[in-house]
Chain A
């Protein structure tokens, strides 16, 4: 058959033959196809009805930069509110008190069950239902004076986020070994103290990676606040193209900035994940 010497039983000795490198023709082909598609798309963008000079001109316009700052400020504050509410609601959900549990379920159902943009619009226009807000006899104010675009966006985004975060927190709290809660009770801790000192710190380690992911989503969700006049990035880009009709150019500017922010946050979030997962891989010997 070949140069291989035959061993006993008629089976050839293959140990002397070299192994040929695999050609992977299919991989090369698909890679080439993908590159071709990308080049086509790239060329369409380059030659299409896009004035790239507008993109470079407005990429660092002061209004755009301010928009980015406003986007990040809102993302951080709304996320903080969402985490706070998420913890509170998760504790209520796991409470033996049926009233608290029902409120938590109702909150989650309502704010996960309606679109975020609808919630933002409702907060902003709340004066149609409640023209004045206040404590009877003590203090009152016009709803429109209180519900500025900033506050409406913060409440809309934060309260909506809280509904999702509460589920993450609940999963995190349930992931903590039941024995931890028992040990806490055994040294005389009440439910809330045990939650605060023993359960939540351990839950946070499980919860922080998915929350990092949620934060990246929040950065982009802030763009919805443009419809209630919060001057974040998209709102600023829109105002420019309302004036100069350069719609796609300004959308590209906004898109590039969102991409940049997310590209920075993503490896940071992976770092966070790795750091927190570290404590968990070790088990008792």
Chain B
């Protein structure tokens, strides 16, 4: 069996008094689309943020493509990596935020080219033409020179997806990508994500959009109170959940 792309082993995270993650373990295979569902405070967003180290783990380990994230093992002890090393590790993941977080002082095109040019030092012309391709892919060629304030929420989120893809990550993380959108704009973002899934990108999506999960996810993981309660195919978890808590959650949201 091939090594999972992401291996999460006994990860715990506490914020003050509150335990957000309790010894969570999870595997994500390359090319898999995995949806994390659960109530707010269940730890699903925290888990996502631990993978690209926006939130450091308290204990346990996460391996991405075989590399331990944020830590170095030496002489039986764990040493934290430097900020620069962590930044380099982040290049392997792309993240799409709930509130888009586009850079307001840059155009859509500039948002996309910023990372490859500034961080990866790639040739500006090359990056530019790639960025135009990405904009085409998310259906926003006409908005290349628009600023965030001139775009609808759905358009901003699509640019944000293109921005993350420009870094050529091996894993895409989505933190409730449609939660902040007006209902009529959700569809355009979901269709971009579906296309992305079809193209074989490994995706970890925290979402409330159960329709999307049912349609696209290879696996659905339900979390509650910092632990994984149930995990399985979307048909199983969403259609015939085994755990009582999963059933309670689903009946509450549908």
Footprint of B on A, CB under 8 Å? 177, 179-180, 182-191, 193, 197-198, 201-202, 205, 279, 282-285
Contact = CB atoms under 8 A, between A and B. Distances in A.
Contact of A185 (B90, B118, B153, B164): B90
B81 interface: no
List the 10 shortest-distance A-B pairs measured between CB atoms, nearest first.
A187-B115, A183-B101, A179-B101, A186-B95, A282-B149, A188-B91, A188-B119, A190-B87, A188-B90, A201-B105
A183 B115 CA distance: 10
B97 A182 contact: yes
A285 B152 contact: yes
A260 B223 CA distance: 68
Given A182-B54, A279-B104, A188 B152 contact: no
11 contacts: A177-B101, A182-B97, A186-B94, A186-B97, A188-B88, A188-B120, A190-B83, A191-B83, A197-B114, A201-B105, A284-B100
Contact of B164 (A184, A187, A189): A187
A282 B243 CA distance: 46
Contact of B119 (A177, A182, A187, A282): A187
Contact of A187 (B99, B114, B151, B153): B114
Interface residues of B, number: 34
Interface in B43-98: 52, 54, 83-84, 87-88, 90-91, 93-95, 97
B219 interface: no
A230 to B, nearest CB: 38
Interface in B94-127: 94-95, 97, 99-105, 114-115, 118-120
Contact of A188 (B54, B99, B115, B151): B115
Contacts of A184: 103
Contact of A180 (B101, B118, B149): B101
B87 A188 contact: yes
B119 A179 contact: no
B118 A197 contact: yes
A167 B43 CA distance: 36
B12 interface: no
Nearest to B115: A187
Given A186-B54, A187-B164, A279-B104, 14 more contacts: A182-B97, A186-B95, A186-B164, A187-B115, A187-B163, A188-B115, A189-B118, A189-B119, A191-B83, A202-B104, A279-B105, A284-B153, A285-B151, A285-B152
